Chain A
Amino acid sequence: MKAARPAREDLTVAERHQQKTTKTTAFPYGVGIFLCSLALPGLLVAAEGNRVEKTFEAAPTPRVTISNARGLILVRGWDKQQVHIVCSVMSPRVEVDSEVIPPSGPADKVHFSTHILDPLVSGKDQTADYSLDVPMGTDLEIRDTQGSVKIEKLQGDDATVETVGGVIVVSDFTGHLFVRSIGGNIDVIRAAGRVEAYSITGDLHFVSPATSKLRATTTSGRILFEGDFPDGGDYSLSEYSGDMDIICPPSASFELNAKTDRGKLENQMPITIRHQPATPLSSANSLFGTHLTGKATVSLKSFSGTIRIRQR
């Protein structure tokens, strides 16, 4: 495919709001109120200057990427064939750029990136908050170093979300979801398709997944899984030292392979124990068996954390 020259567009209008100083000597309260009433519209204008709203016509299954340093990124699926963005920045020295490919006609790709224009801008002043509505079938890639990412009601193709310390919450997503936060927590609620979730110190929380495949790993965070294991599903959850809680309904049908080296394994489900593959672990630390007819495959692993399997 011939590479199209991206259209570069500055989204933010960084306006500096200059405030006139007025000297007052008499009637301090009245003057104060008067000044406030003058200042208010100015503040609103300044706030408006740091907020931008845009809409792009999109091709079917467009690719949308966002690269941000701090701030909340909220992405929702909608039934229009458009990418709609509302963005606000904390400082006028922070700018959000967009690249649309191709530059005219429905966009195959839309890239948003936050740029810190002044190296002296630090901390919360680097914040850029994004709110996007994207068409169903959007291929999404989000990198938000220290910000949170929320994806809601999106039937996507592929979604990749990576943060360093930010929280990631994905609800009602269908497709292939790859989420990774080095130190932030990850919540995946009612996802369908294939899910991969990785963290080092963050907690992983899965609620009512309808995924065919789930891979989840954290080192010192904990894992909480609440829901059923759909027939034929393949679930692999692993953590090193955090605890793992599996809470599933009595109707869940799964084949279980659970093991922990130094931790404990507490099971409250009526599992039919099957032959154990040769393992150096004692039966107190491992469990192989089936619940009902064993339609889903569930692998739970921990090194020093406790694994609890409970009935809802």
Chain B
Amino acid sequence: MDDTRRHRTAECDRCELELEAYMEGEARPFVLAHVRECVFCKVVSEDLQALRTAAGELPLEEPSPAVWANVRAQLSAEGTFAEKEGVWSWIWQLDLLRRPVPVAAFACMLVLGCWMTAPRNYPQSEASASLAASGGQPVAVRSMAFVSGGTSLEQVVRELEEAFKAREGSLAPDVKATYENSLSSLDVSIRECNDSLQREPGNSLAHEYLFAAYSQKAEVLSSALDIDEGR
């Protein structure tokens, strides 16, 4: 990716501008022609197309208003979605189209996040049974443990970790150490939150911190994959 990025041209910029419209189905011959020649833009285009296809294959299930209210309340309490403007401005600050790998990972997380919070007809798990029995508050953000079907945020993080391992050798030692310290700190919090949830499945703070730790870990790994050391 670095090699292609070094040769970024004005055509790449134009392609980036037109790509959204192209993905929306508009005829953009320039994009078609450019992605045949430019590896970087081809990868971006293919990633977006793959995401679009994957998202289209997900079942559409409308969660109940109560679930959305809980999710919103929880995220609002965390400050994550405090302001619509803040979130979008933050997303745009990521300069998305220049970073296909982290973008793809985040998009997967978002899709999975929606999927995870959508109501399903799960057989009642031990955790939710104990929640009901204890009369505890419904938990808006489902723990990773509740996700079935083999794909989860955990898995996305694992894939990012593998990509990081492949990349870490090229990082400067102090940069690598900073990333490793941070990841180790996040791993500790993931482990402790999981332990807490084993003992106390209704612990909403542990759910919150677990979700936050996974999200932060994905962010840190994405940042490491995207890092430009001026070369």
A and B are partners in one complex rather than unrelated chains: yes
B185 near A219 with CB under 8 A, answer: yes
Q: Are B204 and A280 in contact (CB under 8 A)?
A: yes
Question: Which of B172, B202, B231 meets A146, CB within 8 Å?
Answer: B172
| Set B78, B189, B204: member contacting A241, Cβ < 8 A | B189
Given A146-B172, A178-B90: A115 and B230 within 8 A (CB)?
yes
Interface of B is mostly: helix
Pick the residue among B78, B82, B186, B231 that contacts A219 (CB under 8 A).
B186
With A114-B230, A303-B193 given, is the CB distance from A182 to B223 under 8 Å? yes
Binding site for A on B (CB under 8 A): 13, 77-79, 82-83, 86, 89-90, 93, 136-137, 172, 174-175, 178-179, 181-182, 185-186, 188-189, 192-193, 196, 200, 202-206, 209, 212-213, 216, 220, 223, 227-231
Q: Is the CB of A219 within 8 A of B175?
A: no
Q: Does A290 contact B (CB under 8 A)?
A: no
In angstroms, Cα B186 to Cα A201, docked, is: 9
- A 196-237 binary contact with B (CB < 8 Å = 1; else 0): 100011000000000001010101100000000000001010
17 contacts between A and B (CB under 8 A): A115-B231, A116-B230, A126-B230, A146-B174, A146-B178, A158-B89, A164-B175, A164-B227, A183-B178, A183-B181, A201-B182, A236-B78, A240-B189, A259-B205, A278-B137, A280-B202, A280-B204
Contact A123 B205 (CB under 8 A): no
- Do B189 and A219 touch (CB < 8 A)? yes
Residue of B182, B223, B228 touching A67 (CB-CB under 8 A)? B228
Residues from 48 to 94 in A contacting B, C-beta threshold 8 Å:
67-69, 94
Specify which of A69, A141, A194, A303 is in contact with B209 (CB 8 Å cutoff).
Answer: A303
Cβ distance B96 to chain A, nearest Cβ, rounded Å: 15
- Contact between chains at B186 and A241 (CB < 8 Å): no
A311 CB-CB contact with B under 8 Å: no
Q: Is the beta-carbon distance between B175 and A146 smaller than 8 angstroms?
A: yes
Q: Establish whether residues A69 and B206, one from each chain, have CB atoms under 8 Å apart when the complex forms.
A: no
In the complex, residue of chain B having the shortest beta-carbon distance to the beta carbon of A95 = B230
Q: What residue in chain A is nearest B205 (Cβ atoms)?
A: A261
Q: Which of chain B's residues have a CB closer than 8 A to the CB of A183?
A: 178-179, 181-182
Q: Does A281 contact B (CB under 8 A)?
A: yes
CA distance in complex: A217, B186 (Å):
13
Q: Which of A145, A176, A241, A262 contacts B229 (CB 8 A)?
A: A145
Interface string of A127-162 (1 = CB under 8 A from B): 000000000000001010110000000000010100
Inter-chain CB contacts under 8 Å: number = 116
Cβ of B214 to closest chain A Cβ, rounded Å: 12
Min CB distance A303 to B, Å, is: 5
Residue of A nearest to B228 (CB): A67
Interface residue from A68, A123, A143, A303 paired with B192 (Cβ < 8 Å): A303
User: For B89, what are the chain A residues with a Cβ–Cβ distance below 8 Å?
Assistant: 158, 176
CB-CB < 8 A to B90: which residues of A?
A: 178, 196
A119 on interface, CB distance cutoff 8 Å: yes
Asked, given contacts A183-B182, A240-B209, whether A280 binds B231 with beta carbons under 8 Å apart, the answer is: no
Q: Which of A260-278 contact B (CB under 8 A)?
A: 261-262, 278
- Taken together as a complex, chains A and B put the C-alpha atoms of A146 and B223 apart, in Å, by 13
Contact A303:B77 (CB < 8 A) given known A114-B230, A146-B174, A182-B178: no
Instruction: Please name all residues of chain A whose beta carbon is closer than 8 Å to the beta carbon of B189 when the two chains form the complex.
Output: 219-220, 240-241, 303
| Given A217-B79, A219-B182, 5 additional A-B pairs, CB 8 A | A113-B230, A165-B175, A178-B90, A213-B83, A279-B204
A119 to B202, CA, bound (A): 52
Q: Most chain-B CB neighbours within 10 Å: which of A115, A122, A126, A201? A: A201
Instruction: Kindly state whether residue A238 has any CB partner on chain B within 8 Å.
Output: yes
Q: Give the docked Cα–Cα distance between A79 and B223 (Å).
A: 35
Chain A residues with CB under 8 Å of B78's CB are 236, 238
Q: With a CB–CB cut-off of 8 A, which chain A residues contact B79?
A: 215, 217, 236, 238, 299
Q: How far is the CA of A196 from the CA of B182 in the complex (A)?
A: 19
Q: How far is the CA of A194 from the CA of B89 in the complex (A)?
A: 13
A126 — which chain B residues lie within 8 A by C-beta? Answer: 229-230
Shortest beta-carbon distance from A145 to chain B in Å: 6
Q: How far is the CA of A67 from the CA of B227 in the complex (A)?
A: 11
A3 interface neighbour in B13, B181, B185, Cβ under 8 Å: B13
